[in-house]
């Protein structure tokens, strides 16, 4: 079998998803796409008409319980073997003000009440997509999603509130370069490990992001397969797992196929793939917390699986993320947020900061676009998003930009006025430097850091923190992911970062001495 992989690259300003081109012997194509998810058949959804309105409800099974979303947006649960009366609604939640509901009924809210600052909307710019017609949105949002994992209370703000942690003053990029090896250093930790059978089979891929939600760490990964062989444990474009107490170990206990943990799913109303494509693909962001039990994640949805390797872009998806017993669950509650002409939302990174979810996307005149939306049900409404106007420090434009925008973008002090960022990266607040940080990379060559006093900039000039010449284990790697949840003793004086050559993941630790 011959498998060809394509790296992420831009064609006419569009980011093309990596790993979507796979050429196999024709005799195995049907078997491959029948046996693997994304491309594989989706997890089977059982259909019931629990509210007896003549319309089938969307259901999925987790362990011995079947969860169903009724057409009014409410969720219900029943024994998996039952097709009769549901046992009861899951989660009542607190209704959001009506302005936060997406085509929904008052009091039907996905996220519990959150005191968010009202988003100020600037002038509408050209090159903005309006997203999905509001009339096509679901008629209600679920009042609560299943989450049986225990969680501990805690702040969801990205700023550290713990006093007594060490701090340092970051010098300018020129001095920082001269300080390498004395004031800061990079150490190779080793490969990321996966437990049980998938670990023994050599599970790997091209990116694994980590995020904290409640008392769990969620690892959302991409293009995962075992030993470079999609037939060994399947191929999955976007599975997710729970972490362990060790930054280098991901919990895959009891799994024999990577398709058991598919994360972002198509919505029940999404159009079915059409020839030559025969399956969906989801290129996912990390997870940002809305509160201790619910988070949000984004994905760029495509159709894939064609024998010629072609794909069809579909648009941006957004999902509510909850904590299942054995894996994180991403639940779509409506159609795509945008069509295929929009930027690919949040694939660089997303970040919860104060009352907003910030999205960092590739594109625009500076190569990085910063957007934000209130950290509540507003995430499901494309009209509630606003994006930083290029060249400004705090001027925001309403609506999700198109991929060819020239007026929307973050600013950097780089001489080129552009960020050296590829498709994937990380964003976090450093309690060591007291700065917001973007970490990203140029494929196979460099890992760069940019800092700012705000989540939206202006950002500093480039700090080069890794290169393939200085760190041999970085050779052939890309997709730098900072694992902020594993900061030793809660301090960002030390930062863990992983990358992959589309196989094993290499883990590094950066230590600062400022």
Three-state DSSP class for residue 68 = strand
Which residues make beta-bridge pairs with 480? none
Q: Is the pLDDT of residue 31 over 80?
A: no
Burial of 117 (0-12, 13-18, 19+ CB in 10 A): exposed
Task: Determine the Cα–Cα distance for residues 464 and 474; give it in Å rounded to an integer.
Answer: 14
Q: Is the pLDDT of residue 97 over 80?
A: no
Give the pLDDT band of residue 482 (cuts 50, 70, 90): very high
Torsion of the alpha carbons at 176, 177, 180 and 182, rounded to the nearest 10: -50
Helix, strand, coil shares, percent, the chain, to 5 = 10, 35, 55
Q: Is the pLDDT of residue 75 over 90?
A: no
pLDDT in tens, 204-245: 998 999 999 999 999 999 999 999 899 999 999 999 999 999
Task: Determine the Cα–Cα distance for residues 147 and 150; give it in Å rounded to an integer.
Answer: 8
State mean pLDDT over 272-282. 96
Report the candidate in 217, 218, 245, 221 with the shortest Cα–Cα distance to residue 234.
221
Residue with tokens 């001489």: 415
Burial of 476 (0-12, 13-18, 19+ CB in 10 A): middle
- Give me 285's structure tokens: 């962001």
**CATH code of the domain made up of 173-512:** 2.115.10.20
Task: Determine the Cα–Cα distance for residues 387 and 379; give it in Å rounded to an integer.
Answer: 14
Length, in residues, of the chain: 514
In this structure, are residues 427 and 407 in contact, taking their beta carbons and an 8 Å threshold?
no
pLDDT in tens, 395-412: 999 999 999 999 999 999
Query: Higher-confidence residue: 8 or 360?
Result: 360
Write out 43-105 in H/E/C secondary structure. Answer: CCCCEECCCCCCCCEEEEEECCEEEEECCCCCEEEEECCCCCCCCEECCCCCCCCHHHCCCCC
Task: Determine the Cα–Cα distance for residues 378 and 402; give it in Å rounded to an integer.
Answer: 20
Q: Is the pLDDT of residue 353 over 90?
A: yes
Task: Determine the Cα–Cα distance for residues 10 and 423; give it in Å rounded to an integer.
Answer: 9
Distance of CA 399 to the CA centre of its chain: 20
């Amino acid at each position: 079998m011959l498998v060809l992989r394509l790296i992420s690259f831009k064609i006419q300003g569009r980011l093309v998803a990596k790993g979507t081109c796979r050429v196999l012997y024709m005799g195995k194509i049907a078997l491959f796409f029948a046996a693997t998810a994304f491309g594989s058949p989706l997890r089977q959804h059982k259909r019931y008409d629990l509210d007896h309105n003549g319309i089938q409800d969307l259901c999925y099974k987790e362990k011995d319980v079947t969860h169903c979303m009724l057409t009014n947006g409410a969720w219900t649960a029943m024994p998996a073997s039952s097709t009769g009366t549901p046992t009861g609604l899951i989660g009542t939640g607190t209704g959001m003000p009506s302005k936060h509901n997406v085509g929904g009924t008052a009091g039907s809210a996905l996220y519990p009440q959150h005191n968010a600052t009202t988003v100020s909307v600037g002038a509408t710019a050209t090159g903005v997509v309006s997203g999905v017609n509001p009339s096509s949105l679901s008629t209600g949002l679920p009042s609560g999603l299943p989450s049986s994992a225990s969680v501990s209370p805690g702040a969801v703000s990205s700023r550290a509130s713990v006093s007594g942690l060490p701090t340092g003053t970051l010098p300018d990029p020129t001095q920082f370069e001269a300080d390498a090896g004395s004031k800061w250093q990079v150490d190779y930790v080793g490969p990321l490990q996966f437990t049980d059978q998938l670990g023994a089979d050599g599970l790997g891929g091209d990116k694994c992001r980590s995020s904290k939600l409640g008392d769990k760490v969620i690892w959302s990964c991409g293009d995962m397969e075992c030993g470079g062989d999609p037939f060994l444990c399947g191929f999955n474009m976007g599975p997710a797992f729970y972490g362990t107490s060790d930054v280098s170990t991901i919990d895959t206990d009891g799994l024999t196929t990577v398709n058991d943990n598919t994360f972002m799913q198509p919505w029940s109303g999404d159009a079915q793939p059409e020839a030559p494509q025969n399956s969906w693909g989801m290129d996912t962001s990390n997870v940002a917390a809305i509160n201790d039990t619910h988070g949000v994640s984004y994905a760029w949805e495509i159709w894939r699986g064609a024998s010629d390797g072609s794909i069809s872009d579909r648009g941006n998806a957004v999902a509510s993320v909850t904590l299942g017993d054995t894996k994180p669950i991403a639940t779509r509650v409506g159609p795509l947020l945008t069509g295929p002409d929009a930027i690919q939302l949040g694939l660089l990174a997303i970040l919860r900061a104060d009352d907003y979810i910030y999205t960092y996307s590739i594109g625009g005149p500076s190569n990085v676009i910063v957007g934000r939306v209130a950290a509540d049900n507003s995430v499901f409404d494309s009209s509630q998003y606003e994006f930083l106007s290029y060249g400004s420090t705090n001027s925001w434009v309403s609506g999700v930009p198109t991929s060819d925008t020239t007026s929307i973008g973050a600013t950097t002090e780089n001489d080129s006025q552009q960020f050296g960022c590829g498709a994937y990266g990380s964003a976090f607040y450093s309690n060591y430097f007291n700065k917001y940080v973007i970490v990203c990379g140029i494929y196979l060559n460099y890992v760069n850091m940019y800092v700012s006093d705000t989540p939206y900039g202006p950002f500093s000039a480039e700090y080069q923190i890794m290169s393939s010449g200085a760190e041999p284990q970085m050779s052939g790697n890309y997709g730098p992911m900072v694992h902020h949840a594993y900061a030793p003793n809660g301090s960002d004086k030390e930062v863990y970062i992983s990358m992959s050559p589309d196989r094993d993941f290499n883990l590094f630790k950066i230590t600062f001495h400022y």
